[in-house]
Amino acid sequence: MGRSGYTSLSLPQDDYKLIRAKFDKTDIPYSFTVWATDILDAALERMKYAKTVYPDLEIISNVPSQIIVRHRRNNEIATITIKKGKPPTCDKKNPSFLPFALLHLGLHQV
């Protein structure tokens, strides 16, 4: 049974072990539970912000180191790439694609 005032959140064990191991190697000054709660809240706020500021953009593909974004109105497609130690790049000049992709929670480098 959990602590009073808390609920439980079930995660696959392998995912939890991976996330927890990464967390334990950081110098975060508060507990894993507090950190996870803050991260979930921030993620929801980022998603809400991205949908508000960029209502015509959508993610159509998300693979490690790359996100494909589509503009709903003109069907323009952009590829945003992120590589370790380098700034992210976008293959299109539209100034909205890159910040939208950077707000996406699934973008990560390999």
Same domain, 46 and 28: yes
Q: Which of 53, 69, 86 is a domain's end point?
A: 53
Q: Taking residues 20-41, what's their average pLDDT?
A: 93
What's the chain's Rg over C-alpha atoms?
Answer: 17
pTM of the model: 0.77
Same domain, 71 and 107: yes
State pLDDT tens for residues 53-103. Answer: 999 999 999 888 899 999 999 999 999 998 888 999 999 999 999 999 999
Describe the strand order of the beta sheet including 66-71 as a list of residue ranges: 57-63, 66-71, 77-81, 89-90
The structural domain count of the chain equals 2
7 within domain boundaries:
no
93 within domain boundaries:
yes
Same domain, 64 and 82: yes
Domain of residue 43 covers 12-53
